[in-house]
Amino acid sequence: MDALLIHGGNPLAGEVRISGAKNAALPILTASLLSAEPLRLGNVPHLKDISTMLALLGHMGERVTLDDQNHVTLCGESIPHKEAPYEMVKTMRAAILVLGPTLARFGEARVSLPGGCAIGSRPVDLHVKGLQAMGADIQIEHGYIHARCKRLHGARIVMDMVTVTGTENLMMAAALAEGTTILENAAREPEVVDLARCLIAMGARIEGAGTDIITIHGVDTLHGAEYSVMADRIETGTFLVAAAMTGGRVRTTHAQPDTLDAVMSKLRDAGAKVEVGSDWIEIESDGKLQAVDVRTAPHPAFPTDMQAQFMAMNTIAAGAASVTETIFENRFMHVQELRRMGANIEVSGHTALVRGVPRLDGAIVMATDLRASACLVLAGLVAAGETTIERIYHLDRGYERIEEKLTQLGARIKRVH
């Protein structure tokens, strides 16, 4: 099992190239199921979750070709296996995203219910309810969702909660449905907009992506397309927080500043200097930060995927601040590990009160989920002495070569087996 070894204390400086967004690439990969023609994608990040999704699509019958460093072509001409088996879904919940497109194009789909995960139960009831509203007959038995429908029809669907992959699943299903579908209380995340742009390139008729009302006029078929995945805003935010904490000056390139307003505003509140260009964000900090209150909520508010990283930042900032998690019921597992490094954090319900301490101490800590692992890397970068982070397979799911990118910026970090 790999681990990361970090010696804290080095300021970060230089440029880091941001990879394609995991949470945009995953739904866009499944969009290839909607057409018999090839979908050629650029800027696809090399991540565990992406390889898992490609393996699943290959299992279903897609022809997958990696034609150079960052391009992948998928051809869904024939999909004999219209199913996502448990052993593939259990390691990656985003596999639920094959449900909508497979059902819409072939009239049937069999997808394992994703189990819960470390950060919460994460049901998919809203995905199912939306497809039923579009005419699907859905049976849930033996841990699988069996969905059937001659042809889905348009519907007006008001989502009880804002769900990112729920919105994405239903948007893809509606693209081939008969008639018009209106998704109300839809997720506004940039990754939803990126998927909509790709679907439109394939011939879909979609209006309102990025707002909370998305209208999809179904068409009979979708054609192939070429599309390039957006930059990963959470990877960008993670590097910006790293530089704010260690002190120094870092420019994230191939980024998309317009997807990070809430995060950049909080970094400025903390005392860092943040400048933006068309495709870059530069941060400068002396490492002496003010603690900032954070409350997660759906986009465009502060993203839950940046909560753990800001908690790490608050552990060494001046003053005290509250971190409130409103999206997931159990996304504070990094608190225990940060405490082992000397952080002063009290949790009551969905709010953690963080009091800044002069410095953290290196320790052996354990990653529990993707963003918690990132938070521990950030803590290790500023802690005195050596930090060992175990179970970093969680980290590899969402960050491409993080130790190489951090080393380039001057961090003392290496992967040990």
Residues labelled as active-site residues: 117
Binders of ligand EPZ in range 94-113 (CB under 6 A): 94
Write the DSSP string, 128-148: HHHHHHTT-EEEEETTEEEEE
- Which of the ranges 33-41, 159-167, 270-278, 341-349 carries the binding residues for ligand EPZ, by CB under 6 A? 159-167
Query: Phi/psi at 324 (nearest 5 deg)?
Result: -115, 125
Based on the shown chain and the rule CB under 6 A, indicate whether residue 125 belongs to the binding site for ligand EPZ: yes
C-alpha span between 307 and 231 (Å, rounded): 19
Burial 362-376 (b: 16+ CB within 10 A, else e): bbebbbbbbbbbbbb
Partners of residue 285 on adjacent β-strands: 248
Stretch that binds ligand EPZ, among 78-86, 123-131, 251-259, 263-271 (CB under 6 A): 123-131
Cβ distance to ligand EPZ smaller for residue 94 or 366:
94
Residues whose CB falls within 8 Å of the CB of residue 68, separated by 6 or more in sequence, listed in order: none
The correct pick among 161, 184, 275, 404 for binding ligand EPZ (CB under 6 A) is: 161
Would you call 259 helix, strand, or coil by DSSP? Answer: helix
Q: Which of 42, 107, 120, 203 binds ligand EPZ (CB under 6 A)?
A: 120
Position 304 contacts ligand EPZ (CB under 6 A) = yes
Does 90 bind ligand EPZ (CB under 6 A)? Our answer is no
Among 20-28, 203-211, 216-224, 254-262, the segment contacting ligand EPZ (CB under 6 A) = 20-28
The beta strands (E) that lie in 142-269 are given as 144-148, 156-158, 180-184, 205-207, 213-217, 225-228, 248-253
Torsion angle, alpha carbons of 185, 190, 195, 196, to 10? 60
The span of 52-60, 122-130, 262-270, 376-384 binding ligand EPZ (CB under 6 A) equals 122-130
Name the minimum Å distance from CB 7 to ligand EPZ.
27
Within the chain, how many helices (H) and strands (E) appear? Answer: 14, 24
State phi, psi for 49 to the nearest 5 degrees: -60, -35
Please pick, from the candidates 52, 112, 163, 315, the single residue that binds ligand EPZ as defined by CB under 6 A: 163
> What's the CA dihedral at 159, 294, 191, 74 to 10 degrees?
-110
Determine the 3-state secondary structure of 413 from DSSP: strand
Site string for ligand EPZ, 397-416 (x = CB under 6 A): -x------------------
Report the residue from 48, 127, 197, 266 that binds ligand EPZ according to the rule CB under 6 A: 127
**Residue 212 CB burial class (10 angstroms; 0-12, 13-18, ≥19):** middle
Judged by CB under 6 A, does residue 309 bind ligand EPZ?
no
Q: Does 370 bind ligand EPZ (CB under 6 A)?
A: yes
Closer to ligand EPZ at the Cβ: 39 or 53? 53
Residue 9 carries which DSSP code?
Answer: -
- Pick 285 or 368: Cβ nearer ligand EPZ: 368
Is 154 a residue that touches ligand EPZ (CB under 6 A)? no
Quick one: which of 38, 166, 224, 380 contacts ligand EPZ (CB under 6 A)?
Answer: 166
The set of residues, in sequence order, having a beta carbon less than 8 Å from that of 171 and lying 6+ positions away, is: 100, 183, 186, 192, 195, 196, 199, 206, 209, 214, 216
> From the list 39, 74, 164, 244, which residue makes contact with ligand EPZ (rule: CB under 6 A)?
164
Among 266, 371, 394, 405, binds ligand EPZ (CB under 6 A): 371
Binding pattern for the stretch 313-342 against ligand EPZ, x by CB under 6 A and - elsewhere: --------------xx--------------
The binder of ligand EPZ chosen from 61, 107, 123, 135 (CB under 6 A): 123
Q: State the Cα–Cα distance between residues 99 and 131, nearest whole angstrom.
A: 9
Min CB(270)–ligand EPZ separation in Å = 22
Interface positions with ligand EPZ (CB under 6 A): 22-23, 26, 94, 120, 122-127, 161, 163-166, 191, 304-305, 327-328, 370-371, 398
